[in-house]
Amino acid sequence: MERIKIGGILQSDGRALMRALAAPAQSGAAGSLIGALGQGGVNIELLAETQDREANLNFALVFDQKDLEQALNLVEGLRDRLGAQEISFQRDVAVLSVFGPHLREKPLVPGLMFASLAQAGVEPLAIATSISSVSCVVAGDLLDTAVAALEEVFEAPFQVKKRPRDY
């Protein structure tokens, strides 16, 4: 099969994933959560938010692992305001992104990305997309396997861009 041309593949490891689950949907909950983290100096690298059938908000946030304790303290301080039923975290995760111009006009890219990861035994822990990128969170120990799987199906004009653990 011919590889699909993309702009590139980015990776950043040394990250942590936090989930705040089942917070009742209310005006300002997302802003309160994201604002508190920002004011506390926690830079959010990836954010996904959904609303479930019971109208609860579920957040997945990724940031530098060195900021995990600060983030946990900030979110715990908001727990009553958010009404989150569960706050959990996972250390040693990585963000992997496929990007390129006109990605929204290439409907095969997300399917190929996640099919190749599944075939390599890599299960995404969270997914986020935009008009120019598809990103996912993977276990840190599977990052090299995930990158190799993506390089099998995508043609990028340069090597994988590695973001250092402490940037």
| pLDDT tens-place string over residues 56-98 | 888 999 999 999 999 999 998 888 888 888 899 999 999 999 9
User: So what's the pLDDT on residue 14?
Assistant: 95
The domain locations on the chain are 4-13+92-163, 16-90
Distance CA 129, CA 111 (A): 12
In the numeric block, which tokens belong to residue 61? 């946030």
* Kind of pairing between the strands at 44-51 and 4-5: unpaired
One fold for both 4-13+92-163 and 16-90?
A: yes
Topology classification of domain 4-13+92-163: Alpha-Beta Plaits (3.30.70)
Report domain 16-90's class: alpha beta
Banded pLDDT at 141 (limits 50, 70, 90):
very high
